[in-house]
C-alpha cells in the first residue's frame, strides 16, 4: 500500500489484509496504489483532510487469463462456438547478473548521483520468454548505506551506438533503506502501474541514486555483459561501468520479475547478443570499487507469486451488436452454457432469433469463482434462406472496431455508399504504417475486415494504441483502437 503526493508513505497489510498508513499532511490529494503479485493492480485518488480516513474495503481481483481465438459459425439452426485454452503463464525473474552474491560496492567516496541500468534487447527478452508479460517488480542491492534518495526508472525504445534509453515511461520513488540488515539483500519494488514488456523494442530498467558518501552501489562478480548489464548515466552522459574505473568488469545487481510469461518466442527475433563492444568515452571523474568480503551477505528475497491458479470451466454468452459493431451491455447478455469443461458449445436457440447481428462471449472460470475477462467471437449475422435485399448505405463510413480493447484480433466494419476503391491501413502511435488490410475495388455495401495484430511480415506487434484509416476516392476517416496483451 503506497500513498504518494505531498509526502510519500507506504506499508504492508497483515495476513488478513488490514493496514494503517502513517500520518500525512492534510489538505492535499494523494495517489493510493495497491499491488500484490498475482492480482490486478489498483490505484485511486484520496483527498486527505485533517482527520483520519477510513478507506473501507479495497478488493483486488486475482489475475486471470481469458480464452483465445473464439470463433462462432452456424450449422443448420444452431450456432457453434469454439475457442482455445487461455495461456496461464509463469512468474519469471530475469537479469544480466551472473551470481546472486554481490562482490563489490561502486562509488566515488563522495557525494554524487548515478543511474545504474540494465538494458534488454527484443532478442534477449524473447530468449527469457517474457515478451508480452507484465513487468511487475524490479529489485536492486546496496553494498552499504549512504543514500539520500532512490528512484526507479523504466524506458522503452532504446538503442546503442550511442546509448539512448528511448522513452522514459515510468518513474517511482523508492523508500531509502536505513537498516544495515538490508545491505547485500535484494530490495524488491513492486511497480505501481502495469507495464507490458515489449516485443519489438528495447527495455531499460534502472535506479537513480543520490549518494551521500562511500561505495553503495552493488555489483556481481562478473564477467560483465558489456553494454547490457553495466550501463551508467553519470554527469549527463551514458557509459559502461568498465570505462569509468580500472577493473570494473561486473554487472549491476538489478533484476526484474515478469508476471504471466509465456515462454520463449522465435518469430521475428534473431539469436540474442549478450555482449556489445561499444566504445564510450572515459569520464574525467573515475569510479572506484570497495570489496565486500568482510560483510555477511545474504540473498533472501520476497518469493514470486505461488498462488494456485487452476482453470475449472467456461461460461458462454450471446449478445446483440449495434450498427457500429459494439456489443450490448453485459447485464443483457444471454447465458448459453456454463460449467463447460471442453472447448466448444452449441447455441440451440440460434434459429429462433430475430434478424440482427450477434456476438458470442466466453469467460474462463478459475479457482475461487474467479472469472476471466471476456473473449469475444466474430460477429455472426442472423439471416434466412430467403433472398435478401442488398442494403446500400446512405453514406461512406468507417465503423468502430470490435472488440476494443482486443487481444489478439479485432473486426473493422466499413460502409461504401457507391462502388469505389477502398484502402484500410493500420498505423502505430508514431504514424508508421504497420499493415495494409484492404486495397481493392468494392461495390457499394457493408463490409468488414479483421486485423489479427500482426505487421506486413506476419510478426505480432506489441500492446498499445493503434490507428486504422479508411481511404476512398472522396473519403478519409481515422479511428483509434487498443491492443492489450
Report the CATH number at residue 229.
2.60.120
Q: Is residue 409 part of a domain?
A: yes
Query: Would you state the pLDDT for residue 49?
Result: 82
Whether residue 444 sits in one domain with residue 334 = no
Domain-terminating residue out of 388, 414, 436: 388
Whether residue 231 sits in one domain with residue 157 = yes
Does the model's pTM come out above 0.75?
no
Q: Is residue 301 part of a domain?
A: no
CA distance 396 to 415: 5
Q: Is residue 299 part of a domain?
A: no
Query: Would you state the pLDDT for residue 262?
Result: 65
Domains held by the chain: number? 4
DSSP string, 294-322: TS------PPPP-----EEEEEEEEEEE-
Q: Provide the H-helix boundaries in 320-441.
A: none
Query: Would you state the pLDDT for residue 300?
Result: 39
Query: Would you state the pLDDT for residue 470?
Result: 93
CA distance 82 to 265: 25
Whether residue 270 sits in one domain with residue 229 = yes
Whether residue 422 sits in one domain with residue 328 = no
Q: What residues have CB less than 8 Å from 32, skipping those under 6 apart?
A: 1, 2, 3, 43, 44, 45, 46, 55
Whether residue 214 sits in one domain with residue 110 = yes
Q: Is residue 433 part of a domain?
A: yes
Domain with 153 in it: 90-291
> Cell 547485500 sits at which residue?
184
Domain-terminating residue out of 291, 325, 345: 291
Whether residue 279 sits in one domain with residue 360 = no
Q: Is residue 296 part of a domain?
A: no
Q: Is residue 297 part of a domain?
A: no
CATH at residue 313: 2.60.40.10
Whether residue 163 sits in one domain with residue 77 = no
CA distance 159 to 165: 6
Whether residue 152 sits in one domain with residue 24 = no
Query: Would you state the pLDDT for residue 184?
Result: 86
CATH at residue 400: 2.60.40.1930
Whether residue 8 sits in one domain with residue 154 = no
Q: Is residue 300 part of a domain?
A: no
Domain-terminating residue out of 291, 318, 353: 291
Q: What is the pLDDT tens value at each position of the chain, 485 positions in all?
A: 888 788 778 888 888 888 888 888 888 888 888 877 667 667 778 888 888 888 888 888 777 778 888 888 888 888 999 998 886 667 788 999 988 888 888 888 889 998 999 999 988 888 888 888 889 899 999 999 889 999 999 999 999 878 999 999 999 999 998 888 888 888 988 888 878 899 889 999 999 999 998 889 999 988 889 999 999 998 889 999 888 877 888 999 999 988 877 655 433 334 556 565 554 444 444 556 665 544 443 333 444 444 546 789 999 999 998 866 788 889 999 999 999 999 999 999 888 887 788 999 999 998 878 888 888 888 888 765 443 445 577 788 898 888 888 888 888 988 898 999 999 999 988 788 899 999 999 988 888 899 999 999 888 888 888 999 999 998 988 888 888 87
Q: Is residue 303 part of a domain?
A: no
Question: Does the N-terminal peptide bond of residue 162 adopt cis geometry, omega within 30 degrees of 0?
Answer: yes
Whether residue 208 sits in one domain with residue 129 = yes
Per the CB < 8 A criterion, the answer to whether 484 and 407 are in contact is: yes
Whether residue 343 sits in one domain with residue 226 = no
CA distance 134 to 157: 17
Q: In what order do the strands lie in the sheet with 104-107?
A: 217-219, 104-107, 288-291
Burial code (b: 16+ CB inside 10 Å, e: under 16) for 17-43 equals: eeeebeebeeeeebebbbbbbbbebee
Whether residue 27 sits in one domain with residue 73 = no
Amino acid at each position: 500500500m503506497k500513498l504518494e503526493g505531498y509526502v510519500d508513505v507506504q506499508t504492508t497489510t497483515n495476513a488478513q489484509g488490514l493496514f494503517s498508513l502513517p500520518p500525512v499532511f492534510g489538505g492535499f490529494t494523494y495517489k493510493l496504489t495497491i499491488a500484490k503479485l498475482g492480482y490486478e493492480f489498483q490505484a485511486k485518488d484520496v483527498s486527505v483532510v485533517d482527520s483520519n480516513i477510513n478507506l473501507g474495503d479495497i478488493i483486488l481481483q486475482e489475475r486471470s487469463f481469458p480464452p483465445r481465438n473464439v470463433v462462432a459459425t452456424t450449422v443448420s439452426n444452431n450456432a457453434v462456438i469454439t475457442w482455445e485454452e487461455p495461456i496461464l503463464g509463469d512468474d519469471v525473474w530475469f537479469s544480466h547478473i551472473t551470481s546472486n552474491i554481490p562482490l563489490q560496492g561502486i562509488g566515488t567516496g563522495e557525494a554524487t548521483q548515478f543511474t545504474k541500468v540494465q538494458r534488454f534487447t527484443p532478442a534477449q527478452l524473447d530468449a527469457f520468454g517474457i515478451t508480452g508479460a507484465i513487468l511487475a517488480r524490479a529489485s536492486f542491492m546496496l553494498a552499504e548505506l549512504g543514500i539520500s534518495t532512490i528512484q526507479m526508472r523504466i524506458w522503452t525504445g532504446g538503442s546503442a551506438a550511442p546509448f539512448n534509453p528511448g522513452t522514459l515511461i515510468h518513474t517511482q520513488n523508492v523508500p531509502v533503506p536505513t537498516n544495515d540488515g538490508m545491505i547485500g539483500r535484494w530490495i524488491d519494488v513492486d511497480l505501481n502501474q502495469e507495464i507490458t514488456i515489449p516485443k519489438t523494442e528495447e527495455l531499460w530498467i534502472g535506479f537513480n541514486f543520490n549518494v551521500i558518501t562511500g561505495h553503495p552501489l552493488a555489483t556481481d562478480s562478473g564477467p560483465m555483459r558489456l553494454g547490457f548489464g553495466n550501463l551508467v548515466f553519470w554527469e549527463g552522459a551514458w557509459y559502461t561501468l568498465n570505462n569509468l574505473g580500472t577493473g570494473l568488469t561486473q554487472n549491476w545487481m538489478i533484476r526484474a520479475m515478469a508476471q504471466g510469461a509465456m515462454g520463449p518466442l522465435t518469430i521475428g527475433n534473431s539469436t540474442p547478443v549478450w555482449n556489445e563492444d561499444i566504445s564510450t568515452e572515459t569520464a574525467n571523474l573515475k569510479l572506484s570499487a570497495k570489496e565486500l568480503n568482510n560483510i555477511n551477505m545474504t540473498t533472501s528475497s520476497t518469493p514470486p507469486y505461488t498462488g494456485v491458479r487452476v482453470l475449472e470451466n467456461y461460461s458462454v454468452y450471446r449478445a446483440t451488436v449495434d450498427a457500429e459493431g459494439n456489443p450490448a451491455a453485459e447485464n443483457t447478455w444471454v447465458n448459453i452454457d456454463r460449467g463447460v469443461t471442453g472447448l466448444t458449445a452449441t447455441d440451440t436457440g440460434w434459429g429462433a432469433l430475430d434478424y440482427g447481428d450477434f456476438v458470442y462471449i466466453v469467460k474462463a472460470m478459475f479457482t475461487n469463482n474467479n472469472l476471466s475477462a471476456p473473449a469475444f467471437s466474430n460477429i455472426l449475422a442472423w439471416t434466412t434462406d430467403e433472398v435478401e435485399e442488398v442494403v446500400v448505405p446512405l453514406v461512406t463510413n468507417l465503423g468502430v472496431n470490435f472488440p476494443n480493447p482486443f487481444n489478439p484480433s479485432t473486426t473493422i466494419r466499413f460502409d461504401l455508399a457507391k462502388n469505389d476503391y477502398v484502402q484500410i491501413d493500420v498505423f502505430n502511435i508514431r504514424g508508421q504504417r504497420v499493415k495494409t488490410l484492404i486495397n481493392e475495388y468494392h461495390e457499394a455495401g457493408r463490409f468488414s475486415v479483421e486485423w489479427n495484430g500482426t505487421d506486413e511480415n506476419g510478426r505480432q506487434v506489441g500492446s498499445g494504441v493503434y490507428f486504422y484509416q479508411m481511404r476512398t476516392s472522396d473519403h478519409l476517416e481515422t479511428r483509434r483502437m487498443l491492443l492489450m496483451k
